[in-house]
Amino acid sequence: MLVLPLLFAMSVAAMEAQIPLSTPRAWKIDLSKNWDVLGPFPIHAREQQFISPSYPVNISKPIDFSRTWPSSYADKGRVGWTKTQATTAGDLKVSFPAIRWNDLRATEGWAALQHHAVLHTNLTLHPPHNSDASPVPRLLVQLIQGSYIAIIPESDSPLSSPPEWHAGNIYAMERTLPRAIQLPSPPSATGPTTYHVFVSGDYEIRLFGDAKWPRTPTQSINLTIDVEVPSHSVELEPSQDVVCDFVDGYAFGDAIGLGVRSLARWWTITDAVLATEPEGFRVELLRPTKIAPSQTRIVPIRIIQTKKYSQPAIAMNLTLASDTDAKPVTVSVKLPLQQLPRWTEKTLSAIKGTYFYAQEMPTAFSAFPPSLENIEGRNPQPPILCLHGAGVDIAQSFWIDSLPRQPHSWLVTPSGRTPWGLDWHGPSAKDAWGSVDALVAIIAANAAWHTRKLAPQTPVVLMGHSNGGQGAWYLAARFPDRVLGVVPAAAYIKSQAYVSLLMSRSAHFIDPAARAILESSLTPDDNDLFLSNLADTPVLAVHGGNDDNVPVWHSREIVSVLETWNDDANVTFREDARQLHWYPTVLKNDQVQAFLDAVLQSSSLPRPRSKSFTLTVAVPSESGSLHGWKIERLTVPGRLGRLTVQAFGDNRLRIVTSNVDRFSVLAEMWDVDSLQVDNSLVDFSPQLRGSGVVTFESDGRRAWKTVPQKAFTQVSARVQSFLSTAAPFRLVVLDETSPRDNSLALRIAHDLNAYHRLDAEIILGCESLNQLADDTGNILIIGDASSPFLAKLSWGTPFQVENNRLTLRDSPLEEPGLGILFLHPHPRNTEGQMLFLLSTDASGLERAGRLFPIRTGVTVPDWLITSNRAEQIGAGGVIGAGVWGRDWSWNEAMSWLY
């Protein structure tokens, strides 16, 4: 290990602890094995984002462990604190055997099994000897399958400020780093200091499975906490590295990512070079990478290669500059490589490729080459895009080994960002298409691989299992023109159909009109609403008849809905009797292979097209075209838009629109003499069709005109769309002196990396926003709603600043406890967004921060205001929510104010 004056540097081959925690001068930690447990309380999936993680307890006040609380799950309707113990390894089992779960399930199904609990224990810090001059330590916390964790001082008095809640690794994803948490108050340097630890434990069917009779639903949580002393150093995080395989000495991709973490200072990676530069092979830093104290970022490095590189590793040097020292330092890195032989029919194996997602984020995918070369004189056969299930890591071979090998088609298995990603929506969907496009480019860049090349913008056959089966339905229905056929296996329809939301606590308090606005943010993910787009697409749905994870009725029902759109739809349902959720032949069987053969062999022929078909869209920016027709803007965003095309035998087309303000068509696909759109006869002459894409825009009620093509697509509809950034995020903290604002930025940056491998740079100080004018990445603004900086902005939504007060439609937002989120146009990128996360005090900031949409199913539309009442009644404490109009204006039809 190379030790530098102010920096520790390590190679991957010789990882050592940066901070020797076991030395006599180290802080020691004692995490009690004894836990207090309160629950269970009914809750639906993601409701913990709205409600206090310690509901019904207010942990800002001293806890009365003898008190009982109302719960409809318990006999006599009340529950109190009970005791349990964790193992030495931190494993904790939480269950409530006294609850009559079978009676609840008999009437409410799986929804009744989902529940919330509050968990409490203590940790004690013991200082080292002579610790007066030692830095204040912080905690490294790994909470697996728990929702949130908070650490507060031991005190008999109420807290002076609300606790900070940190999201856990609820999906138990591998390679997720521990979270660095600052202690809420400094520990004693002369004796032990005790802190309270609170965990929100939430039982979700997708995480813990169905507790079949006579078993009791049991949460399996693991909590480990270590101590870290901040130092002026960085450390490498090899678990975060992204490295491609090499095939016959050539990189299968041009992207490398290095995980680097700062322990205390602000560091900037300014350069990356090979330790020794062989001829025809070098690397370059994509852009300087600034890392905040305790933050981890994946440094993007590009491979530039013209000749073979056959070494077993890449040795390089990183140059770093700190915010306090003028002299830069160097870190040496050694990345092991997997060198594969050039593929032949006998040496085929899965290959890990890499590319830059959103311009700068190194991303890996796996691909398996076809066993045979392309047939000379024929177009390359399209690939099969294979989407894994929830929790499946493509770094392991399980998924790609489960897929049927093909003679002339590549198998592409994207990561979806992480094993869970965003359920193949948003950035996960972009990653799926990005992996296909990256494979096309990688093969095209090496002449030796052209015998198995792919066509640019190649269509695909989609295949997926479980969550990936749902993702196959999703991608095919949103981008039907790029999908030749679909094989969804063991797929669920949508989250609300998987486990009902009927046990919602919020539903007892919220205005149904407000609930409808909130749940409109689920509409873009509801696969059954978009099946009109697949009425002409070949589909083979597969499901085990005894599936105990995703009930088989999901596939039966979605096939039924598809056939409602087209009686003659090319859809087949295969139900394998007595099979469970996963079985080895779910995708490897003769029927699936025959389906693939038929679709792939006909891929060069014209696509089948019904005389009448309907395109359904919820978010234009997240949807493609159907037979060349594309909806580009809705009349009322937040509602579905539909475009029905009716073809008549005398070369006439009639278009019927519903909630569509602008649409376009790839004119070369349609040779017609007459075009009627609603009540208008519209010019569709050969001269106009020769221009390529023809765009139509509403010209009054059900009247239409052709207009020049515009580079604009509607991007708003829900806050979750903020995750689909075109470049790394910029997280701007308005008040750089605010510890809580800084903490929230670090928490969000950690969650973006942990849940989605999305990169974020933290920027302190509102004046720094000016330097972002040329950035294309989405921008998050964190701060106080009364910040003077807000008055300097040019506002593009109904939120405004008047007399140094944030207002919405002229009404000031000053009530204590408000958490305010709203999307805003990006200052440069018309397809990008800003997200403002503001508050009127610390409690409001915590509440708004929990609504940042790290997971699917968080019902936050374009804007939302939540209040202190949400702590106990969840979404019932929302006092305003809505979807912006088509030009970021007020949308009366899709807005609600208390």
Domain ranges, ordered by start, for the chain: 1-18+232-340, 28-228, 612-634+638-707, 719-897
> What DSSP element (H or E) covers 891?
none
Q: In this model, does residue 10 exceed pLDDT 60?
A: no
Average pLDDT, stretch 379-401? 95
The separation between the first and the last C-alpha atoms of the chain, rounded to the nearest angstrom, is 61
Higher-confidence residue of 657 and 709: namely 657
Q: In this model, does residue 257 exceed pLDDT 80?
A: yes
User: For residue 482, what pLDDT is reported?
Assistant: 98
pTM: predicted TM-score of the whole model, two decimal places: 0.95
Structure tokens that stand for 466 in this block: 């479980």
Q: Rounded to whole angstroms, how far apart are CA atoms 398 and 595?
A: 23
DSSP codes of every residue in 195-247: EEEEEEEEE-HHHH----TTPPPEEEEEEEEEEE---S-EEE-GGG-B---EE
**∠220-223-226 over CA atoms, to 5°?**
165
Q: How far is CA 50 from CA 56, 368, 374, 785, 867, in A?
A: 13, 43, 54, 20, 10
3-state secondary structure of 272: strand
Q: In this model, does residue 8 exceed pLDDT 60?
A: no
Q: What are phi and psi of 315, to 5 degrees?
A: -100, 125
User: For residue 6, what pLDDT is reported?
Assistant: 30
- CATH number at 1-18+232-340: 2.60.40
Residue 1 confidence class, pLDDT cut points 50, 70, 90: very low
Q: Rounded to whole angstroms, how far apart are CA atoms 850 and 148?
A: 10
Structure tokens that stand for 516 in this block: 């409808």
User: For residue 15, what pLDDT is reported?
Assistant: 31
User: For residue 767, what pLDDT is reported?
Assistant: 64
User: For residue 211, what pLDDT is reported?
Assistant: 78
Tell me the per-residue pLDDT of 125-161, one tens digit each, with 9 for 90 and over: 999 887 666 788 999 999 999 999 999 999 989 999 9
Tell me the per-residue pLDDT of 796-820, one tens digit each, with 9 for 90 and over: 999 999 988 999 999 999 999 999 9
**∠171-180-363 over CA atoms, to 5°?**
55
Residue 21 confidence class, pLDDT cut points 50, 70, 90: very low
User: For residue 688, what pLDDT is reported?
Assistant: 77
Tell me the per-residue pLDDT of 169-201, one tens digit each, with 9 for 90 and over: 999 999 999 999 999 999 999 999 999 999 999
User: For residue 53, what pLDDT is reported?
Assistant: 97
Q: In this model, does residue 795 exceed pLDDT 60?
A: yes
Percent pLDDT > 90 in the chain is 84
Average pLDDT, stretch 785-796? 89
CA atoms within 13 A on the CB side of 244: 29
DSSP codes of every residue in 542-573: EEETT-SSS-THHHHHHHHHHHHH-TT--EEE
Residue 716 confidence class, pLDDT cut points 50, 70, 90: confident
Structure tokens that stand for 192 in this block: 């032990």
Q: In this model, does residue 575 exceed pLDDT 70?
A: yes
Q: In this model, does residue 353 exceed pLDDT 90?
A: yes
SS3 letters for 722-752?
A: HHCCCCCEEEEECCCCCHHHHHHHHHHHHHH
Q: In this model, does residue 13 exceed pLDDT 50?
A: no
3-state secondary structure of 249: coil
Q: Are 821 and 835 in contact (CB under 8 A)?
A: yes
Q: Which phi-psi region, left, alpha or beta, contains residue 300 (left: φ > 0; alpha: ψ -120 to 50)?
A: beta
Tell me the per-residue pLDDT of 205-243, one tens digit each, with 9 for 90 and over: 988 888 776 789 999 999 999 999 988 889 999 999 999
Higher-confidence residue of 715 and 413: namely 413
User: For residue 800, what pLDDT is reported?
Assistant: 95
Average pLDDT, stretch 705-717? 76
Average pLDDT, stretch 561-578? 97
Average pLDDT, stretch 472-493? 98
User: For residue 232, what pLDDT is reported?
Assistant: 81
CATH 3.40.50 assigned to domain 28-228? The reply is no
Q: What is the average pLDDT value for the chain, to the nearest integer? A: 93
User: For residue 847, what pLDDT is reported?
Assistant: 98
Residue 626 confidence class, pLDDT cut points 50, 70, 90: very high
Q: What are phi and psi of 441, to 5 degrees?
A: -70, -40
Q: In this model, does residue 844 exceed pLDDT 80?
A: yes
Residue 774 confidence class, pLDDT cut points 50, 70, 90: low
- CATH number at 719-897: 3.30.379.10
Q: What are phi and psi of 566, to 5 degrees?
A: -150, 110
